[in-house]
Amino acid sequence: KTFSYYIKTSSFDLLLLSSICEKVASTRKTFGIYKKGEENFPQMTSDQKNGESFPVKEDHKKDNAPGPGLTFFVSLSKQYFWKLLVAIKTLFFTLWDFLCKIFLKLLAWVQGHDPSRQPLEPIPNATPQSHPVQNIVLIGRTGDGKSATGNSIAREKVFITRTHATEVTQTCQTFRVVTPEGPILDLIDTPGLLDMSVAPDIISKEILRCLILAEGGLHAVILVISAKTQLSQEENMIFRTLEVLFGSKIFDYVIIVFSGGDVFEDDDVTLKEYLDDSPDFIKRFLTLCGQRKTLFDNKTKDDVKKAKQVHELLNLMDLVKKQNSDKPYTYEMYLNMKEENEKHKKDEELQALMRELHQANQQMLKAIEEMKENDRRKKEQEELESKRRSEEQFEELLKTNQHNFKEMEEVMEKTIKKATEAQEEHFEIRLMGMVDRLDQMERTLARMHGNN
C-alpha cells in the first residue's frame, strides 16, 4: 500500500522521464545521429527547424553508411555545439534528481517495513469490522512513567521501565493489546524526551518513526507527565517539542495521562486540586488538548482500579475519534505540515527580508534627511558667516572711510587755512602797496601844488 502511494506520487516524475526520452529521440533525429539500422529516419527540413538547416550529405542515407560523426560536429557552429552540451547537462541532472527521488521513496518504504518491529499477536475470533485496530503512541520524558503506563494499559509488562536503568527505551517498540472492552490497541512506546544520554536529533527521528510503524495513522497520542514532581519549564519544553515534531494538529489527538496516582491517594489530593495550582502553560496546553486528561496509578495491585483507569482512557480515546471524525493523524498530514512549515518559514524569511529592506530604506531616507538637514544647517552657517564677514568688512571699511574723511577734513582745513593766510598776506601786501601808491600820489600832488 505504501509503495503504491509512492508510485502514484511519482507519476509526474515518470511523465517527465518519458518527455525527456522523446526529447532525446528528437535530438537524435535533428542531428542525424543514428544507430546501425536507423539510417532511414526522416531528416528534419529547414521548415521544421524554423529556418535552421543542417547539411546532410546524400552519402549518409546509403545502407551501411556511417553517420556524419566527427566531421558533422566540426562543421557545426559553436552556437549549436554549446546548445547540445547544455541539453546533455540538463538531461543528466534531471535523470539524477529522478533517481534520487525514487531511492529516497524506496528507502522510506523499506523503513516502514522494519523487520525489527515486534510481531503482532493474532486476534482470536476478530474481524476488522467488529474490532478495529487503533494505533496509540506513548510519549513522555524519561522517568515519568511512560513505559509503565503502557504496561498498565496492556495489563502485563511488555515495555522496559526505568527500574532497569541500563535498559531504558531507546527505540520505538510496539505491542498489540486486545482489551476486554473490545478495541484492539497497537501500543507504540517511544524513547524518552529530554534524555541527556542520547542526541536530541536521534530521539526526534526515532519518535517520528512511529508514523511509519502505525499503519493507517495515529488514533491517539498519550502524553505521560509525572505528578510526583513539581511541574516546571521542562514540561513546557515537552509541549513545544511535540508541536515542533508533529505540528499543532497533533493536539487534536493528545490525551494527557498524569502518572503517580498513588501519591495523590496517599496525600488525599484530587487531580483537579493539583491542576488548580499548576503553572499557566499547563492550563493553556490542557485547553489546546480539549481538557482530555486522566490519572494513572501504575503501582496499584487492585485489578478493579486498573480496569477503571484503562476504561476512562478508552472513553477519552473514543472522544478523540469522534472529534476527529474517525480520521487518524497520518504520515501524509505530517508531510503537509512540514511543507506548510517550510512555506511559512520561507514567508517569514521573505517578510524578515522585506522588514530589513524597509528598515534599510528608512535608514537611508533618514540618512538622506540628515544629510539635507546638515547641508541646510551648513548653508545657513555659511550664509551667517558670510553676512558676518560682510558686516565686519563694511564696518572696517566704514572705519577706514571715516579715518580717511577725517584726514581729508584736516587736510582741507589746513589747506583752507593756508589759503586764507596766503590771501590775507597777499591782501596786506596789496594794501600796503596801495597805501604806498597813495602816499606817492599825495606827495606828487603836493609838489605839483607847491609849484603852482
Domain C-terminal end among 112, 145, 177 = 112
Residue 199 clears pLDDT 50, i.e. is over it: yes
Same domain, residue pair 58 and 188: no
Backbone torsions φ then ψ of 354, nearest 5 degrees: -65, -40
Average pLDDT over residues 351-377: 84
Lowest model confidence (mean pLDDT) among 68-72, 151-155, 235-239, 250-254: 68-72
Cα distance between residue 148 and residue 224, in whole Å: 10
The verdict on 167 and 72 lying in the same domain is no
Kindly state whether residue 424 falls inside one of the protein's structural domains.
no
- What are the Cα distances from residue 436, in Å, to 177, 206, 422? 170, 152, 21
Place of cell 480515546: 317
Is the dihedral angle over the CA atoms 91, 92, 98, 101 positive or is it negative?
negative
Task: Clarify whether residues 108 and 160 are in a common domain.
Answer: no
What is the C-alpha separation between 136 and 152, in angstroms, rounded? 14
Residue 169 clears pLDDT 70, i.e. is over it: no
247, 176: one domain: yes
Residue 91 shares a structural domain with residue 188: no
Task: Give the rounded distance of the alpha carbon of 41 from its chain centre.
Answer: 53
User: What was the pLDDT predicted at 26?
Assistant: 54
254: amino acid identity, one letter: V
Residue 334 in contact with residue 247, Cβ under 8 Å?
yes
Residues 73 and 150 in one domain: no
More confident residue, 195 or 159: 159
Compute the average pLDDT of residues 315-340: 89
- Between CA 445 and CA 448, with CA 446 as vertex, the angle to 5 degrees is 65
Query: pLDDT tens across 203-228, in order?
Result: 888 888 888 878 888 999 999 998 88
Distance CA(76)–CA(70), nearest Å, equals 10
Query: How confident is the model at residue 197, as a pLDDT?
Result: 66
Same domain as 184, residue 239:
yes
CA distance 83 to 51: 17
**Does residue 8 fall inside a structural domain?**
yes
Q: How confident is the model at residue 254 (pLDDT cuts 50, 70, 90)?
A: very high
Between 335 and 106, the more confident residue is 335
Q: What is the pLDDT of residue 203?
A: 80
pLDDT attached to residue 292: 93
Task: Tell me, yes or no, whether 25 and 154 share the same domain.
Answer: no
CA distances from 419 to 153, 293, 434 (A): 141, 130, 22
CB of 31 within 8 A of CB of 72? yes
pLDDT tens, residue by residue, 395-452: 888 888 787 878 888 888 888 888 888 888 888 888 888 888 888 888 888 888 877 6
How far apart are alpha carbons 303 and 203 in whole angstroms? Answer: 34
One DSSP character per residue, 81-141 reads HHHHHHHHHHHHHHHHHHHHHHHHHHHHHHHHT-TTSPPPPP-TT--TTTS-EEEEEEEEB
The SS3 call for residue 438 is helix
CB 321 within 8 A of CB 202: no
Query: Does residue 76 sit within a domain?
Result: yes
* Statement: residue 249 has pLDDT above 50: yes
What does the pLDDT read at residue 323? 92
How far apart are the C-alpha atoms of 377 and 126, rounded to whole Å? 92
**Per-residue confidence (pLDDT) for residue 258, from 0 to 100:** 92
User: For residue 174, how many C-alpha atoms fall within 13 Å in the half-sphere facing its CB?
Assistant: 25
Q: Give Dmax over CA atoms of the chain in angstroms.
A: 203
What's the domain count of the chain? 2
Q: What pLDDT score was predicted for residue 237?
A: 87
Q: Reply yes or no on whether the pLDDT at 164 is more than 80.
A: no
Strand 184-189 and strand 173-178: the pairing is antiparallel
Using alpha carbons only, give the angle 219, 119, 315 rounded to the nearest 5 degrees: 25
**Domain, as residue range, for 268:** 133-329
Pick the residue with more confidence: 390 or 8? Answer: 390
Are 241 and 186 within one domain? yes
Residue 45 lies in a domain: yes
Shared-domain flag, residues 302 and 172:
yes
Q: Which of 84-98, 240-254, 270-284 has the lowest mean pLDDT?
A: 84-98
> What is the pLDDT at residue 163?
53
> Poorest-confidence range of 21-25, 41-45, 238-242, 401-405?
41-45
Q: Residue 347 falls within a domain, yes or no?
A: no
Domain presence at residue 228: yes
Least trusted range by pLDDT, from 38-42, 80-84, 158-162, 315-319: 38-42
The yes-or-no verdict on residue 255 having pLDDT over 90 is yes
For the CA atoms of the chain, what is the radius of gyration? 54
- Residue 108 shares a structural domain with residue 138: no
263 and 150 share a domain? yes
Domain end position, chosen among 329, 352, 374: 329
Strand pairing class (184-189; 293-296): unpaired
Q: What is the CATH number of the domain that holds 314?
A: 3.40.50.300
Asked whether residue 85 is assigned to any structural domain, the reply reads yes
pLDDT per residue as tens digits for the range 80-91 = 566 667 678 677
Alpha carbon 383 to its chain's center: 52
* pLDDT over threshold 60, residue 79: no
441 within a domain of the structure (yes/no): no
Q: What is the mean pLDDT of residues 144-156?
A: 87
Q: Tell me what pLDDT residue 205 has.
A: 81
Q: Do the Cβ atoms of 181 and 171 come closer than 8 Å?
A: no
